[in-house]
């Protein structure tokens, strides 16, 4: 096959790719933007760097499409290209998406002072996570000042079915919604104590609904005990969950539930009903580079 034939084949594949995508998407859906995000999301621990054929294979696009997208993303600063190997990898600028989410999230801003307060009281790891499909995504984290079972960065995703945060979130949904999540989950037995039976999981969610909090006993990580409480919007729908995580080497599940659950429920109540003060928000605003709006207005008038 000569270069002209190869180019024509690539163009034909691009056209078929676009027609196939168009048949599945609404008219306003931007396919190019979708593919660009798909390229960024294809990088990870298993694929820290890729060449153009590998990008095309990972995303399910043609090599010519991969070339255009990679070139554009590199020009914008979201990818970088090794001049020797010609392999692409994520650039630090890609972290800006997560940073801007944390900067703009009213929930994270409102919860942060109370999560820090709880962290300082119990001296264990405290997290806030939000639902995404069948998983919970960590959006805020305050590690234990003395102990840490595992490093859990913001943005980490864990399955709903086997985590206290997921079960707490599901406890505020209808039974039909809970069952749909459980049926749709890949219920992998991550540890010897992971619950995978749908009926047993439903019973744990119903127990969480009755008690006001959920628990999990080393079901995703060995040695990790966690309890969680849902956060609700004004209509009573769950929007997130907060949880405490401790080590089974220092706590029994019974003692942890007895001490931690009331503190966690109280923190959730404060997040839902009591906007934090300016002084409580100030350390977070400074960290995020947010100016004090009152001080900024004052400086403009003097």
pLDDT tens digit sequence for 143-181: 998 877 778 889 999 999 999 999 999 999 999 999 999
Helix, strand, coil percentages, rounded to 5, for the chain: 55, 15, 30
pLDDT, one tens digit per residue, over 177-218 is: 999 999 999 999 999 999 999 999 999 999 999 999 999 999
| Chain region(s) in the chain for CATH 3.30.450.40 | 102-276
The larger pLDDT score, comparing residue 153 to residue 5, is at 153
pLDDT at 13 over 60: no
Would you say 136 and 160 are in contact if contact means Cβ atoms under 8 Å apart?
yes
**Cα separation of 38 and 59, whole Å?**
6
pLDDT, one tens digit per residue, over 15-41 is: 345 434 445 678 899 999 999 999 999
- Determine the pLDDT at residue 285: 82
Looking at the chain, the whole-number percentage of residues with pLDDT higher than 90 is: 78
Would you say 61 and 35 are in contact if contact means Cβ atoms under 8 Å apart?
yes
pLDDT tier, 284 (very low <50, low <70, confident <90, very high otherwise): confident
Looking at the chain, the whole-number percentage of residues with pLDDT higher than 70 is: 87
Can you give the pTM of this predicted structure? Answer: 0.83
Q: For the chain, how big is the Rg over CA atoms in Å?
A: 23
- Determine the pLDDT at residue 299: 38
Smallest CA-to-CA distance from 143 within 127, 164, 130, 154 is with: 127
Residue 46 in tokens: 């298993």
Residue 137 in tokens: 């995504």
**Average of per-residue pLDDT values in the chain:** 89
pLDDT, one tens digit per residue, over 231-276 is: 999 999 999 999 999 999 999 999 999 999 999 999 999 999 988 8
- Determine the pLDDT at residue 286: 76
pLDDT tier, 291 (very low <50, low <70, confident <90, very high otherwise): low
Smallest CA-to-CA distance from 173 within 209, 204, 146, 149 is with: 209
- Determine the pLDDT at residue 1: 52
pLDDT, one tens digit per residue, over 58-85 is: 999 999 999 999 999 999 999 999 999 9
pLDDT at 228 over 90: yes
Q: What 3-state class would DSSP assign to 159?
A: strand
Residue 54: how many CA atoms within 13 Å on its side-chain side?
Answer: 13
**Cα separation of 122 and 179, whole Å?**
34
Looking at the DSSP bridge assignments, the partners of residue 39 are none
- Determine the pLDDT at residue 274: 87
pLDDT tier, 8 (very low <50, low <70, confident <90, very high otherwise): very low
Would you say 160 and 134 are in contact if contact means Cβ atoms under 8 Å apart?
yes
**Cα separation of 212 and 264, whole Å?**
10
Choose which CATH entry (1.10.10.10, 3.30.70.920, 1.50.10.100, 1.20.1050.10) describes domain 16-92.
Answer: 1.10.10.10
What DSSP designation does 276 have?
Answer: P
**Cα separation of 163 and 160, whole Å?**
6
**Cα separation of 108 and 73, whole Å?**
29
**Strand-pair category, 135-142 with 125-132:** antiparallel
Choose which CATH entry (3.30.460.10, 3.40.50.300, 3.30.450.40, 3.40.50.2300) describes domain 102-276.
Answer: 3.30.450.40
- Determine the pLDDT at residue 9: 46
| Chain region(s) in the chain for CATH 1.10.10.10 | 16-92
The larger pLDDT score, comparing residue 138 to residue 284, is at 138
């Amino acid at each position: 096959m000569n270069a002209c034939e190869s180019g024509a084949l690539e163009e034909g594949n691009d056209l078929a790719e676009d027609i196939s995508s168009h048949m599945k998407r609404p008219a306003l859906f931007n396919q190019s933007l979708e593919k660009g995000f798909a390229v960024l999301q294809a990088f990870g621990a298993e694929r820290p760097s890729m060449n153009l054929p590998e990008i095309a294979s990972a995303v399910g696009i043609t090599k010519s499409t991969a070339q255009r997208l990679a070139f554009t993303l590199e020009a914008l600063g979201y990818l970088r290209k090794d001049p020797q190997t010609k392999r692409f990898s994520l650039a630090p600028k890609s972290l800006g998406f997560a940073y801007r989410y944390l900067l703009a999230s009213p929930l994270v801003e409102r919860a942060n002072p109370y999560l820090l307060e709880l962290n300082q009281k119990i001296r264990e790891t405290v997290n806030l996570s939000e639902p995404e499909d069948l998983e919970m995504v960590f959006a805020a984290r305050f590690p234990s000042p003395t102990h840490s079972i595992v490093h859990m960065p913001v943005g980490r995703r864990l399955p709903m079915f086997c985590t206290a945060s997921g079960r707490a979130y599901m406890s505020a949904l209808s039974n039909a919604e809970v069952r749909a999540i459980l049926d749709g989950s890949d219920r992998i037995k991550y540890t010897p104590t992971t619950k995978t039976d749908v009926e047993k999981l439903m019973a744990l969610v119903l127990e969480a609904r009755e008690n006001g909090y959920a628990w999990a006993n080393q079901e995703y990580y060995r040695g990790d005990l966690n309890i969680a409480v849902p956060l609700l919007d004004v209509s009573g729908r769950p929007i997130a969950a907060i949880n405490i995580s401790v080590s089974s080497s220092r706590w029994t599940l019974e003692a942890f539930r007895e001490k931690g659950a009331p503190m966690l429920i109280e923190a959730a109540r404060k997040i839902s009903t009591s906007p934090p003060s300016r002084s409580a928000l100030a350390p977070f605003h400074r960290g995020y580079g947010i100016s004090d709006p009152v001080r900024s207005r004052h400086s403009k008038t003097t």
